[in-house]
Structure 1
Amino acid sequence: MELTMNDLARLDDFFPEFFRRFARTVPTSLAADMPAEIKVDVTENDKDYHVRASIPGAKKDDIRVSVDGNYVSISAEVRKEKEEKSGRSLLKETYYGSASRGFSLAHEIDDKAVVAKLEDGVLKLTLPKRDGAGSRVIAIQ
């Protein structure tokens, strides 16, 4: 099939209109409340790692942190509800979604000594390094 210039011009007219129509189907107030990816800052000292993960809108019971060796996984489920009452009508917009993040660290983590706190949408983790789990130089014989 060969496209002529007239066919290309019609496609060019169609696509902007298609995207405008699609954009109207997503409520902007709802789209703004959707969870973004979890943003993570990781720092380290000799004894442990410190993680700050931004998870706006998540509650303590909706966050799951798991540690497997040197791999850390954070997941959260976020539920947003907006309710407006006006006379006899009722409008309720609900969003339910999840976000997750995982990363590997250079040392294995002592999973029994991990401390996790949630403050103002920021998850703070203290991940102690496991004793003896660091790298070691091997002598070649």
Structure 2
Amino acid sequence: MANVTRYDPLDDFFRGFLVRPVEIGQGDMPSVKIDVKEQEKAYVVHAELPGINKEDIHVNIDGSMVSISAERKQEKEVKEGERVLRTERYFGKVSRSFQLGQEIDDNKARAKFNDGVLELTLPKKATTQARRLAID
């Protein structure tokens, strides 16, 4: 015979609630937020990279794969008589990779960075039509 056990979901909810530390406001490392638009001959990508210098942004294109990486460096300037009470801003590396539907002509690709937004214009490579090979 099987044992019957009574289950109360509130027991699981409150079990350990007061024992475990609760972290409020501590999330994962931030990611690069992007918008991708397709035009007839190109893709246009907008990536949010606030607080990052354009020298610290790297974009790699490999076929139809696009990778964006950036690093925000921490300022270690603490004046005499001053102490840091709390730091919530993220410092470190972030990256994002995504694949587009068609290969990119990396020789014609352009990038602009203005007001924390990276704009990539990624022209599509001309596709070659498949052809049937005649057998001799």
* Alignment TM-score > 0.5, same fold: yes
Which among 51, 54, 58 is matched to residue 48 of structure 2? 54
Which among 97, 102, 115 is matched to residue 102 of structure 1? 97
Aligned to 1:123: 118
Aligned to 1:112: 107
Q: Which runs of 5+ in 2 are unaligned?
A: 1-10
Larger proportion of helix: 1
Asked whether the 8 Å contact 2:102–2:124 carries over to 1, the reply is yes
2:61 maps to a residue whose letter is V
2:21 maps to a residue whose letter is F
Residues 1-141 of structure 1 correspond to what in structure 2 (within 5 A)?
Answer: 12=15, 15-20=17-22, 23=23, 36-81=30-75, 85=79, 88-92=80-84, 96-132=91-127, 136=129
Larger proportion of strand: 1
Q: Report the alpha carbon displacement of residue 16 of structure 1 after superposing the two structures with TM.
A: 3.2
Identity in percent: 40
Q: Return the TM-score normalized by structure 1.
A: 0.68
Q: Deviations over 1:48-83 (max 9, x none)?
A: 000000111111011100000000000111124375
Asked whether the 8 Å contact 2:70–2:93 carries over to 1, the reply is yes
SS of the residue aligned with 1:18?
Answer: coil
Q: Return the TM-score normalized by structure 2.
A: 0.70
Number of residue pairs aligned between Structure 1 and Structure 2:
120
SS of the residue aligned with 1:16?
Answer: coil
Query: In angstroms, what is the RMSD of aligned CA positions?
Result: 3.2
